[in-house]
Chains A and B, each alone.
Chain A
Amino acid sequence: MEPAAPLPGTQDLLLESARRLRRCEAALCDVFEKGGYGEVIPPAIEGADVFGPEAFRALDRSGRLIALRADFTAQVARIAATRLAGVSPLRLYYRGSVVRRLESGPVYERLQAGCELVGAPGAEADAEILGLAAASLHSLGLKDARISMGSTGYFSALASAAGASPRLAGALNDAVDRKDMPTLRTLCEREVPPGKARDAILMLAEPPRPQTAARELLQRAEALAPTDEAREALQRVSAALAAARDLGAELEVDLGEVRGLGYYSGIVFNLYAAGAPRPVGGGGRYDNLLGRFGDPRPAVGFSLDLDALMPLC
């Protein structure tokens, strides 16, 4: 037999690194428990329809499509919508690994920990989750952390106000996500009729604003908001910003923060920490996900990427 190493995208955690992971997890669980959150441990395999296309799937013997856990949030939503239906608000946390498959490239495994606040619709809930995310990073000893907040709901509202086809909306989203102003401008000039929606879309690639300067940006965006839907999405960002005081991490508003899992419907945020070249976590509001499991309730949550965080702790 050939000498065997773990598959690309996976790893063994031995001794000191295992100890470090458990230390990180313990610090995080302490923050979660103190915040009133209780742990759930969902199974490692699920019916494939719980997850999106990023899940690693296989047929079981009966011909049913099953998947390795690709996303805790979807599992927690399933649990909240079924066995814990009607209990509001619900505060749940989890830790463990997810397995995902990129469009190209290997299947990979990632260690996560995170929280979900179910059945709480308001800005206070958004702020609670932002605060918990900040406290989590603080508990790991990360002093220079930033939270960058935007809204996928705002982007969707603008795309639909502009009458964008799914293809165009995808191209706009990609350009905004890359802060690719030249491409965004070209797309808008060629394919979006002039008007408030176009001007508002062009604003999305603007640089982020610190909490103190975000009001001006949001007021300017509101003046351009082409529909009630867009205005409401911006007001949700403003309200979350106002409710999120003394986070212990810098909160900034970046309307170009549009990336997220498909079910995000409102505010969305990414977490950055000095020393990590990619976001160390993220989250957002997903008010339509539980409805898929028969219990339409609003929810908001976040998760941390422990693989990205461990080298910093």
Chain B
Amino acid sequence: MLTIALPKGRLQKPVLERFARAGVRPDEEPGVSRKLIIPAGSAARFVILKDGDVPLYVERGAADLGVCGLDQVLESGADLLTPIDFGFGKCRLCLAAPRGSKVEAELGRSLRVASKYPRLTGRWFARRGVPVDLIALSGSVELAAVSGLTDAIVDLVESGRTLEENGLVVIDELLQVSARLVVNRAAYRLKVEDLLPLLEKLG
């Protein structure tokens, strides 16, 4: 039995399509059913999670494999295998600031930065030797820069429209994000007979 961590939200539909093509279909539709665990035939089951929780469920072995954005994989710091890049769910993790602000020129001084990605942000600035006052927020990160809470933000950018409408511009790109398959290290070895055929069909 394979337990698959399925993310809620925008990744769910394309993920289910890929698994369906590989012959794994949930017995009930996750959007309709309120069940948190949905069987998929006798050989697999889906657990329905927020995408940010997928890496830890898989690392700790409560799920054998799962799908989430590369941003979540790296932000979690979880020790996982990441054998497949699905190519969908594409976006960029960017540093952005109000148009006309001097953040770029002032990367030499300490910056106030808001983000939902404190680990990735902290590491990116540390590698550049820039001291940063990091403010970890849980939503509406753009508002931090617009309202003057911080000098800049680090957040996901898909089309760039939210930034533009709020007078923010991209200053640098931290990471190119797409949906990744994540696999538990021990499950990869111990359930190899079930996993490898599935990975081949998914890849």
Contact = CB atoms under 8 A, between A and B. Distances in A.
Interface of A: 104-105, 144, 146, 148, 178-183, 205, 207-208, 252, 254, 272-274, 276-279
B85 A277 contact: no
B85 A179 contact: no
Contact of B186 (A181, A182, A208, A276): A276
A182 B61 contact: no
A180 B81 CA distance: 7
B61 A180 contact: no
B84 A252 contact: no
B196 A207 contact: yes
Contacts of B185: 277-279
Contacts of A178: 80-83
Nearest to A175: B82
Given A104-B77, A278-B185, A279-B185, A181 B84 contact: yes
A182 B84 contact: yes
B67 to A, nearest CB: 14
Interface residues of B, number: 23
A277 B77 contact: no
A274 B190 CA distance: 7
B189 interface: yes
B83 A252 contact: no
Looking at chain A's contact residues, the main secondary structure is: loop
B192 interface: yes
B190 A146 contact: yes
5 contacts: A178-B80, A182-B84, A183-B82, A207-B192, A276-B61
Interface in B156-203: 183-190, 192, 196, 199
B189 A179 contact: no
Contact of A179 (B61, B81, B119): B81
A168 B190 CA distance: 31
Contacts of B59: 277
B75 to A, nearest CB: 12
B53 interface: no
Nearest to A148: B189
Contacts of B119: 104
A212 to B, nearest CB: 13
B46 to A, nearest CB: 19
Contact of A180 (B83, B187, B192): B83
Given A274-B190, A278-B79, 18 more contacts: A148-B189, A179-B183, A180-B81, A181-B83, A181-B84, A182-B85, A207-B192, A252-B189, A254-B189, A272-B190, A273-B186, A273-B190, A277-B184, A277-B185, A277-B187, A278-B185, A278-B186, A279-B185
Contacts of B186: 272-273, 276-279
